[in-house]
Structure 1
């Protein structure tokens, strides 16, 4: 305990100590000068008299007799009492604050030790808040690193949540916490340089840590991966895709169809003819609500030709595709975006000439019921 107290005491802010020492020296100088000229004492006695008066000891060997001497002695004694009380109060308050922070830090580390596993979240901004919300809903243990205490002041710590208000780029604690008990390190600050530094810091000592980092700029994704991030996510890019899909919703069609793999190129030609884009394909396994999704994003007839040629020249790939179509009973959904509703309606009319259309804009649950019946 004595070592802990000494360590905290030695770390007291020099600002408070310096201010206190300066005030004491100024009062002491006032006492020496006043004792010499007002009390009529020599230099040594002036130093002695100033010290005992400031400390309110008052041995009585020098007694003020005149009015000016009494006023001087009173101001020196009162100044000493007030100043010493002020200085010690500042030092004691600062010491108590540091003791409180130390005790709080010990409690945090104890809470972390009691966690079986946990996630480390670096950065509690707008993205970090969403990540924490998702983790909390799944009852996961989370350690949040956020250097700005004002940002996390509304967070309530408990047995599942510990907040550490330190800079993850300057504290080696992040390295220790990224060890075996850490399920994943999620780096969500808005600064790619900070994210890169945190990745390098963790990867240096924890080669097996699973690191997921945010990237604000597209060109930094490759840099973060080279630094050691296992996954890099760009909320800006994802947000841009979502904005596009939302804006395209009035001209977005989910068409559930049934046809064999031999009719794929005919679909390509029809979709390209109407200047529509095939966004993705969902393959519906009978009895399972969630489909297998495959992103396409093409409206070019040349893409269809290349894909058809690839299947013709690669028997294994063609057999694998046929097996997939057989597994889903040839039922799949196309997400198609087009210039307008009239164009999409014309597209549907033409597709109906050579393939079976089971429905448009159906939910996965509705499609699951169709696949069950078709399978029977």
Structure 2
């Protein structure tokens, strides 16, 4: 029985006893309703005040029964009320302890700051990729909406606060997304995050056009403007509809389940020091190599030739079905 039903039952039982007692004394003792109500209350509370009228045998038996029923009901009601209070307190304490244990267990995870429209799409994407992450949201309504979606690790807090970021395990995190509702909050979050973890990969939401550079100077590695991306996409749907259809396929918006992924070549892998022709990656994995990012610089080689030499530390950017990705990870020594 939930709290609302139990509370209603307690009130209903007490009200029923008061009504029965008042009606009984009114009819048996021939007194006013006020006096009958008074007699009922002093009988239920067992305070022992003087009766307002002489008590005959029937009234005495009625009083004995009313006392027994009242004591039982009040005892039950008191126990239920105490149970409700302790239940809520203990449950909240248990949830807090469980949350603390889950947060302490996080490592190499992503911190999502803000669960608004942009944050919600980030959360859904991370869930599909089975990535460990924690959500920080200041508004209780948005936080509850996130928790109702599934077993998402999320807690209420101000992401611009160092204490809140430390609670989210920022020192052990690998990335942070600042997707709050204004540039000022995103800027403060980026500043705090960069100070707490210099090696953190930070992606920040830029709302206004001139906020990109400020966020980068504050410590963000990358900035994204949902408004700009939305505008470009809408224009592309008008001028390049087939390109958009292809991109939809890659981003799981289409019916074909393809995705862009990246895999790092490890030093002890069988791909290291082989050419693309010798590695035969497409034949072994059914994945298409789109580009290769070199280890020692930011250069990205698009559509690499078969003679391209694979080295440890290079990042392979591939297109294909997610289920084939583990084949490549196994070849690259990433599993």
Q: Identify the TM-score tier after normalising by the shorter chain.
A: 0.3 to 0.5
Name the larger-Rg structure: 1
TM norm structure 2: 0.48
TM norm structure 1: 0.44
Higher relative contact order (CA 8 A, sep 6+): 1
